Amino acid sequence: MNTRFLNTLIAVFRHGSMAEAARRLNVTHGAVAQQMKALEEELGTALITRSGKTVHLTNAAYRILETSQKILDDIDSLTALANTQEIRGELRLGAGNTSLNSTIPNILATLIDRYPSLQVSIRPGLSSDFYPSVENNELDAAIALEPPFAMPKRIGWRLLSEEHFFLLASARHQGKSAHDLLRQESFIRYDKNSWVGQQIEQYLKKAGIVPKERFELASTESISLMVNKGLGVAIVPNAWNLWKQGLNVVSLPLPSPCAPRRFGLIWARSSPRLQLVEVFLKAAVEEYRA
């Protein structure tokens, strides 16, 4: 059976005449009449009756309308499935400790649920390492900090999150001035070689503070645990809330302006795995907005 004939039958029903059905289907009146006759012959029953120039559907036609529409809908769905490219292959992703211990597991769970054939290989590291890796096609994408330099046009960027800085201190310092504590207490510094560490150093210089450095670490989690032990104070981004549970610490606002830490996804615009990057980005945006 030619399914176009079913479509013609439904058009005659919807528009009330073969002439109007022909106009809507962009065919001739004769073509509609021929298709209706062919469908009647194939089904072995009359589908229309004529009264002068008026055409009416028979009871048999009305009985098959709903099933005919369902058949056409199923064919549309089948066509869409046949023309949808399955998402498969390996996505090479770079990610730092903050995202690996927070958002990445949820993003991956969403991806695998949607695209069971997708594989993701994760390389831990620092944002400063991810940019050249993406440019050199060693990584397809990475969740990274916005760099302190202008990104080349060949690198795509989408902001996912902004994290403001504050002073993390032992709970006994509740209500005290962040700047006073930075001058008086031992300072647990964020790695000076990292972009976050450089941002914190710029803040200290602008505030005219030379802290008494004791430790230097590159992990927000580790810094939080050391503050909890009373080993000093630290300037950290608000991602530290991930580790606050069970810690006897407080967050104190910084008196002077400090630009937030900005996280986003980077990728090579010419990547052969751009489709995989796009589905990851969609899931990442959903997670960071949740």
Look at 40-49, 82-91, 184-193 and tell me which has the smallest mean pLDDT. 82-91
pLDDT band at 81 (very low <50, low <70, confident <90, very high): low
Q: What is the mean pLDDT of residues 11-38?
A: 88
Please check whether the two domains, 3-82 and 89-162+262-289, share a CATH topology: no
Query: In the predicted model, is pLDDT for residue 80 greater than 60?
Result: no
Query: In the predicted model, is pLDDT for residue 52 greater than 80?
Result: no
The residues, ordered by sequence, that sit 6+ positions from 234 with a Cβ below 8 Å of its Cβ are 167, 168, 187, 188, 189, 190, 223, 224, 226, 227
Q: If DSSP codes are grouped into helix, strand and coil, which group holds residue 183?
A: helix
Q: What is the pLDDT of residue 69?
A: 87
Q: What is the pLDDT of residue 72?
A: 85
Q: What is the mean pLDDT of residues 193-217?
A: 93
CB 194 within 8 A of CB 128: yes
Token pair, residue 44, equals 């072995």
The residues, ordered by sequence, that sit 6+ positions from 215 with a Cβ below 8 Å of its Cβ are 186, 188, 189, 226, 231, 232
CA distance 210 to 228: 22
Q: What is the mean pLDDT of residues 260-287?
A: 92
Q: What is the pLDDT of residue 243?
A: 59
Using alpha carbons, select from 234, 232, 182, 228 the residue that is nearest to residue 208: 182
Q: What is the pLDDT of residue 55?
A: 83
Element (H or E) spanning 56, and its range? Answer: strand 54-57
Query: In the predicted model, is pLDDT for residue 245 greater than 80?
Result: no
Domain boundaries of the chain, sorted by first residue: 3-82, 89-162+262-289, 165-259
Amino acid at 46: A
pTM of the model: 0.64
Token pair, residue 200, equals 């914190």
Q: Which CATH architecture has domain 165-259?
A: 3-Layer(aba) Sandwich (3.40)
3-82 adopts what CATH topology?
Arc Repressor Mutant, subunit A (1.10.10)
Q: What is the pLDDT of residue 15?
A: 81
89-162+262-289 adopts what CATH topology?
D-Maltodextrin-Binding Protein; domain 2 (3.40.190)
- Average pLDDT across the chain, whole number: 89
Q: What is the pLDDT of residue 124?
A: 94
The separation between CA 46 and the C-alpha centre of its own chain, rounded to angstroms, equals 54
Which residue, chain included where needed, has tokens 């602008």?
A: 206
Q: What is the mean pLDDT of residues 129-138?
A: 91
Residue 154 to residues 30, 135, 157, Cα–Cα distance (Å): 57, 8, 10
